[in-house]
Amino acid sequence: MYFCRGVHRFRGPVLYLVAGLLIHAFFLAALGTDLLRPLFNDASHTRRGFDFGVFYLAGQALAEGRDIYSVSGAFGFRYLPAFALVASLFAHFQPLTAYLLHLCCTELFLAANLYLTWRWVEGPRRGLALFMWLAYSPYFLELYMGQVSFWAASLLFWLIIGLHNARQWTASFCWVGALLVKPNALILAPALLKLRARRVLVLGLLAGLFTSLPYFLLHPDSLAAFFAANIHGSPVQGTLTHAGNLGLQGGLVSVAAQLAGRPLAELTTLADLPLVGRAVIYCSQAAILVAALVATWRGRDALPLVALWMCTFFLVYKDVWEHHYVFVQPVLVGLYALSGSPKLLCIFAFIALPTPFVLFDIEPGVYGPIDPERTWGPVVSIVYRSTKLIPLGCLWYGLYRTCLAAAPTKS
């Protein structure tokens, strides 16, 4: 009888794991075909490895002593100089070989996440937690574009486990790694400050400073280029927002411009929008940040605080691509591992599925600077983004309430 119960418990996670691996294998096979390309804006209109090409060029520039922030392609190189050193390793190979090596590295991060999840999550939740890593369409787009968001997301997952197990040195190195790969990991600073993870916070900031300062001293103009690419408006006219931008700010820019009769092709910065549109965007961002800070001040638990700020990124940052939603994976896996809430599975299902982009695309599958959103109206722009932003907003609100409720009430 005990043996039968043991076999049943083993079969549960294994069945979910096998189902997830089959979907994952389908994703890998689809990289060599056009089967899934029409489902995503970035895949439909850009070639495979489009973003990886920018990393590759930056790696070549670093190896040849040229400015890494002057490379052309996509939106340019927008990362810290330390990551260009990693990119330079790929630049020793031919582009196709380098792209395939990048895919292998990403798969190794996934394998590590599966292993850690298997060990961390117990009972009937283990199988679904493993499935959540494998059956997630933004991950396919991550592979297609040749991005490294999943590398940073994986390091943040390891940070979550480190904080949960009170291993600050492990958490420190993970946050350092995530920050050097993707600067948007800096958004977790308020949560780390609240958690009194000073070692984590200080080591990350010092690593970013000391690995970047020598380069910016050698190339003084690059510092302005780095901040301009990450903080200011788009460097290219007409790309302030577009169908590839699935963040709240991108959606508000689109709707505000369409209602005001401003063509998206003419937008470069928020100053190009009418005053009312700018006011709505600035006020919404300020309200979200203030609410997150208030919840952080009252919150006490590591995972909800880290998750809250990771979700806040999607609501306040100017450039949120669909592949960025891999940053929600560690949050959802961690929250489900601890709570087992079926609501999290519903949120996961909506975010894991592709958007209805295929219904609104123009010239599907044609490579080039094609922005279908320039032909859309406000309703289509809202419907298109809602499948990601509504579940993400629900998750953010749930985390906000959880953090507020964590503070002791006065009797």
Q: Give residue for tokens 């909800």.
A: 304
* Helix and strand numbers, DSSP H then E, in the chain: 18, 0
The percentage of the chain sitting over the pLDDT mark of 70, rounded to a whole number, equals: 95
Tokens standing for residue 80: 């810290």
Q: What is the pLDDT of residues 50-73, one digit of tens each?
A: 999 999 999 999 988 889 998 876
Positive or negative CA dihedral for 84, 87, 93, 95? negative
Q: 26, 18 in Cβ contact below 8 A?
A: no
Alpha helices in 31-167 (DSSP H): 41-45, 50-63, 81-90, 95-120, 125-134, 137-145, 149-164
Q: Which amino acid is at 301?
A: D
Measure the CA–CA gap between 12 and 93, rounded to whole angstroms: 42
Radius of gyration of the chain (CA): 21
Higher pLDDT, 231 or 56: 56
Tokens standing for residue 388: 């990601």
pLDDT band at 166 (very low <50, low <70, confident <90, very high): confident
Q: Which amino acid is at 129?
A: A
Window from 57-71, 106-120, 297-311 with minimum mean pLDDT: 57-71
Whether 2 shows a pLDDT value over 50: the answer reads no
Positive or negative CA dihedral for 85, 89, 92, 93? negative
Whether 410 shows a pLDDT value over 80: the answer reads no
